[in-house]
Amino acid sequence: MKSPAQERWAPDTGEEFPSPADADANGPAALFARRALADPGGVALLPQPGGMQWSGREEISLTNAEAEMAASRLAAQFAAFGLPARALFGVALPAGPEACLTIAALDRAGLTPCLIPLSWSPEQIGAVVESLGLAGVATQSRIGDLNPALEWRDLAMRYFGLRFLSAFGPAVPDGFTDLDAVMAQSAISAPPSADPAADAPGPSGYVSFDRSEGEADGAPVAWFRSWASARAAADSFVAATDMSPRERLLTLIAQDDHRGLTTGLMAALVSGCGLEAHGLFSSDALAQSLPGEQPLRLVAPGWMEADLARLDFPENLCGVVLVHQAPVRFKAQTPLTHGVTDALAFGEIALLTQPRDARGRFALSLDRPDADASMLAVRREADGRIQFRGMAAQAAPLDGRTPPVEADIWRDCGFIAEVFAGIVIGVTRAPASGSDPEA
């Protein structure tokens, strides 16, 4: 039996899915639409157990058809704001169905999601709002003891360009569009008839921030990645993990940067998995989510390995993906062994993924003979600097408000690899260089 929320978000009788013809074929809007058509009853998005305690919102799970309809209704609302094509629109949401639907809806509406970490201070957010000229935001009224919507309301009073405020959750403040109410509408308002992206500069995609440097002084670096590049990165990740549609993907990583989006939402969409993303970590919620009849793939930050090793994993767990963030140094003895895949994020540029060897030992290597070099190629220079090339690495610092059109060139990622017997044992930040990093 469906919950009241599921009944509200389900397609009405006779209501057809709006065509995502204007959306990028590699973006989440088109991928959600394909899943809805191919398997409308399949599970798309699952809630974090106990999430109502910190969000005040009912826990819901959505089928592919329900997720597609919810995203379509949100997209119609975002399109109704009348913003220019590719305008940057903030997404400040905890991991969960709401963040995934919002990202897909902005893609469908011809806008550019700008992923804002919830850990940021008002000063950091204000710097981004001012420098990038964010036109609006989708956030939440309550996250534990925090009230993000009120913080964004205060920011909007200082930055007049931030005009379109929207939020999920109970007691949405005055002046905000209630996104839960939007998804509960019985019909979708028709979006503009013209292609919203027809005259837009550059490709469609999303903006995230390199938090490996710049956070201390409140100046995080914004990066743009096209949906084509995001799709390529997810394809590479799914191939390396051998992920299949029969699995459930449980991620403990926020969907607010390249590593989180690649190993979470985009991986689920390209593989066909149902996605369960936990917004606030809870050991009780994790314990409730692990067991089940369906094969489970767990994605967690690399620093959690020792803690995860103390758990009694259920039989349905088919694999663990540990996502590391450079700079990092790896231990010779790993607490977890068999069934583990390591993914290493080099800022917002690239993600390298490789299973541990037959003995369960860490085996991440820069030598990838079985990989598709057109998708992601990597090389190590004589001084240890790591460079990437390929569609999955086509990201660059945001140049003003115009996303750059990327060429297939070698990119210095700003890190140096320490290699022993062919295995990466550590990654450190490269010293500053006067040379062009994209030469």
Task: Say what angle helices 64-80 and 97-108 make with each other, to 10 degrees.
Answer: 50
Tens of pLDDT, residue by residue over 368-399, are 777 777 889 999 999 999 999 999 999 988 87
Lowest mean pLDDT among 49-63, 70-84, 188-202: 188-202
The pLDDT, as a whole number, for residue 274 is 96
Cβ atoms of 233 and 392 closer than 8 Å: yes
d(CA 353, CA 295): 20
What gap in Å lies between CA 414 and CA 325, rounded to an integer? Answer: 13
CA dist list (Å): 68 to 18, 33, 39, 96: 9, 6, 11, 15
* Fold match flag (4-225 vs 227-429): yes
pLDDT mean over 76-91: 95
Residues 6 or more apart whose CB falls under 8 angstroms from that of 171 comprise 56, 141, 142
Burial of 160 (0-12, 13-18, 19+ CB in 10 A): exposed
Residue 58: per-residue pLDDT: 85
At residue 79, the 3 state secondary structure works out as helix
* Dihedral pair phi/psi, residue 220, rounded to 5°: -65, 150
**pLDDT tier, 404 (very low <50, low <70, confident <90, very high otherwise):** low
Complete DSSP assignment for 291-332: -SSS-EEEEEEGGGHHHHHTS---TTEEEEEEEEESSEE--S
For 144-173, what is the mean pLDDT? 92
Q: For residues 99 and 94, give the distance between their C-alpha atoms in angstroms, rounded to a whole number.
A: 7
User: Average pLDDT in the 187-196 region?
Assistant: 47
Q: What is the pLDDT of residue 188?
A: 53
115 with 255: CB under 8 angstroms?
yes
Where exactly are the structural domains of the chain? 4-225, 227-429
pLDDT digits (tens, 9 = 90+) for 265-313: 999 999 999 999 999 999 999 999 999 989 999 999 999 999 999 999 9
Q: Residue 372's pLDDT is what?
A: 78
DSSP character string of 225-280: EEHHHHHHHHHHHHHHHT--TTSEEEE-S-SSSHHHHHHTHHHHHHHT-EEEE-SS
Q: What is the pLDDT of residue 285?
A: 93
**pLDDT value, residue 5:** 42
pLDDT of residue 201: 59
pLDDT mean over 407-433: 88
Q: What integer is the mean pLDDT of 398-422?
A: 79
Query: pLDDT class for 187, splitting at 50, 70, 90?
Result: low
Percent over 70 (pLDDT), the chain: 85
Of 12-26, 119-133, 267-281, minimum mean pLDDT range? 12-26
**CATH pick for 227-429 out of 3.40.50.12780, 3.40.50.2000, 3.30.70.80, 3.30.450.20:** 3.40.50.12780
Q: What's the average model confidence in pLDDT over 216-239? A: 87
Contact assessment for residue 68 and residue 17, using Cβ atoms and an 8 Å cutoff: yes
> What pLDDT score does 416 carry?
95
Tokens 């989510």 found at: 289
Specify the pTM: 0.90
User: Hey, how many other C-beta atoms are within 10 angstroms of the C-beta on 254?
Assistant: 24
- pLDDT value at residue 405: 56
Pull the structure tokens for residue 55: 């969000």
Average pLDDT score over the chain? 86
Alpha helices of 333-403 — where are they, by DSSP H?
A: none
The CATH label, of 3.40.50.980, 3.40.50.150, 1.10.10.10, 3.30.420.40, for the domain at 4-225 is 3.40.50.980
Beta carbons of 418 and 249 less than 8 angstroms apart: no
Taking each helix axis from N to C end, the angle separating 148-158 and 122-132, rounded to the nearest 10 degrees, works out to: 50
Tens-digit pLDDT profile for residues 21-46: 445 789 999 999 999 999 999 999 99
- pLDDT score recorded for residue 59: 84
Q: Verify cis geometry, omega within 30 degrees of 0, for the bond prior to 327.
A: yes
Per the CB < 8 A criterion, the answer to whether 308 and 262 are in contact is no
Q: What is the SS3 assignment for 163?
A: coil
State residue 190's pLDDT score.
46
Q: Which two tokens stand for residue 143?
A: 């996250």
Q: What is the 3-state secondary structure (H, E, C) of 175-186?
A: CCEEHHHHHCCC
88 or 360, which is more confident: 88
Whether the CB-CB separation of 360 and 337 falls below 8 Å is answered with yes
Distance between CA atoms of 157 and 126, rounded to whole angstroms? 11
**Distance in angstroms (rounded) separating the CA atoms of residues 144 and 168:** 14
Lowest mean pLDDT among 158-172, 244-258, 305-319, 424-438: 424-438
Q: Phi/psi at 345 (nearest 5 deg)?
A: -95, 130
Q: Answer yes or no: is pLDDT of 198 > 60.
A: no
pLDDT band at 15 (very low <50, low <70, confident <90, very high): very low
Lowest mean pLDDT of 50-59, 118-127, 300-309, name the range. Answer: 50-59
User: Alpha-carbon distance 315 to 395, whole Å?
Assistant: 39
